[in-house]
Structure 1
Amino acid sequence: MAADKPEPVKVLYCGVCGLPAEYCEFGPDFEKCKPWLRDHAPDLYPDLFAGGEGKEVEKTAEKLQGVGISSKGNTGGEASASKQEEVKRLPGGKIKKKERPEVVIEKIVRNKRKCVTVVKGLELFGVKLSDASKKLGKKFATGASVVKGPTDKEQIDVQGDISYDVVEFITDTWPDVPESAIFFIEDGKKVAAA
């Protein structure tokens, strides 16, 4: 007795971005995919294409009013301009607020007794990381180097536990870095140094 084999699923791939058509909105450029989707898969995005371009214009006007700009071209003043600068769009149309620059210090324990102190974010305050690693190494008489972290951003790894004095050294050496912008990672939580 042979069991019936299920039929393979047929997937429609976008001719523009190469993603499955239902994932185009999360792709690199949804605007370029829209004409192709309109011709080949209008059933996937009925709310986008049913009303034509009129609904898209209304949605854009609503978004602009939410940011503080009216559809007539008037701005809401200086406050709305600063809000626009703080807003960043993520893939899929989600909005992310602009992050404030901050220095994050984390102590990582290796082999149960050796540890490395990681300093991230100094470059956001205009500090050259190679110079900073040399100064940290000299001050604490230890090895310090600039390495790429897990997110491919550069960070300074300093051998040993220097977290007890590093905040005072950073604020004294680089006055552009305020103490309120320095944070520690303790037990997986971000804690203010001040």
Structure 2
Amino acid sequence: MAEKPQPVRVQYCQVCSLPPEYCEFGSDFDKCKPWLIQNVPDLYPHLINEANEKEADKVADKLQGTAISSGSSDAAASSATKQEEVKRLPGGKIKKKDKQEVIIEKVVRNKRKSITTVKGLELFGVKLSDASKKLGKKFATGASVVKGPTEKEQIDVQGDISYDIVEFITDTWPDVPEKAIFFIEDGKKVPAA
């Protein structure tokens, strides 16, 4: 006579109530990490390494804090600029700070009509709503502030105004240098100057 099969006992995360294998796909994975390290360390070995790295970072920050208070200003200034340039994203990925540059791209639609998009003016302290009004008046066309595909705001101007826009931008907003203006042509970034 065959033995009766025993039921499978499934363990669930106490934080998100998913099986531990699926915690990384849940919305509270950062909150689940301590529970996973304690209860299922073999399932996520990289979490243990991350925890050790965080502890090492805390110790390094404490040592750096004592170096700052002792008077080493050069090391403090260089480390502060590195921290400003680097931004941590969810999942531990590192994102560098956006470069201050204006990107102008012409998008053709319906074979004859085109839209010129201007991205990055806000990085120079330009208010986008005011800029769109000025662009619309200067080129006698419609201009509006819209969210682009990367969820950042950009200015869409009806028509092909790429021939005259660089001069207008540098004259209207002197904080924007001509070296920081680029065109997107055939998928490549080309300097405007």
The interval holding the TM-score normalised by the smaller chain is 0.7 to 0.9
Alpha-carbon distance in structure 2 between the residues aligned to 1:124 and 1:20: 44
Q: 2:122 and 2:184 mapped to 1: Cα distance?
A: 18
Corresponding position of 1:6: none
Match of 1:164 in 2: 163
Could you tell me the TM-score, scaled by structure 1's length? 0.75
Aligned to 1:88: 87
Q: Tell me if structure 1 keeps the 8 A contact 2:144–2:155.
A: yes
TM-score by length of 2: 0.75
Equivalences for 1:1-194 in 2 at 5 Å? 14-17=13-16, 21-22=20-21, 31-46=30-45, 48-49=47-48, 55-56=52-53, 59-60=56-57, 64=60, 70=63, 73-75=66-68, 76-194=75-193
The change in CA–CA distance for 1:72 and 1:141 in structure 2 (over 3 A counts) is: closer
SS at match of 2:108: strand
Shift of the 122–48 alpha-carbon distance from structure 1 to 2, 3 Å rule, reads closer
Instruction: Go from structure 1 to structure 2 and tell me whether the alpha carbon gap of 1:28 and 1:100 turns closer, same or farther (over 3 Å shift).
Output: farther
SS in 2 for 1:175: coil
From the superposition, tell whether residues 19 and 108 of structure 1 become closer, same or farther in structure 2 (CA, over 3 Å): farther
Tell me the distance in 2 between the aligned counterparts of 1:11 and 1:28: 21
> Aligned letter for 1:85?
E
What are structure 2's unaligned runs of at least 5 residues? 1-8, 69-74
How far the C-alpha of 1:39 sits from its partner, in A, is 4.1
2:3 aligned residue: none
* 1:111, distance to aligned residue in structure 2 (A): 1.0
Deviation at 1:24, TM superposition (A): 5.1
Percent sequence identity is 74
Gaps of 5+ in 1: 1-9
Corresponding pairs, count? 178
The separation in 1 between residues aligned to 2:162 and 2:116, in whole angstroms, is: 7
Query: Relative to 1, partners in 2 of residues 1:81 and 1:25: Cα closer, same or farther, differing over 3 Å?
Result: farther
Letter in 2 for 1:79: S
| Distance in 2, Cα, partners of 1:11 & 1:156 | 53
CA contact (8 A) 2:37 2:47 kept: no
Indicate how the Cα distance of structure 1 residues 31 and 156 shifts in structure 2: closer, same or farther if over 3 A, else same: closer
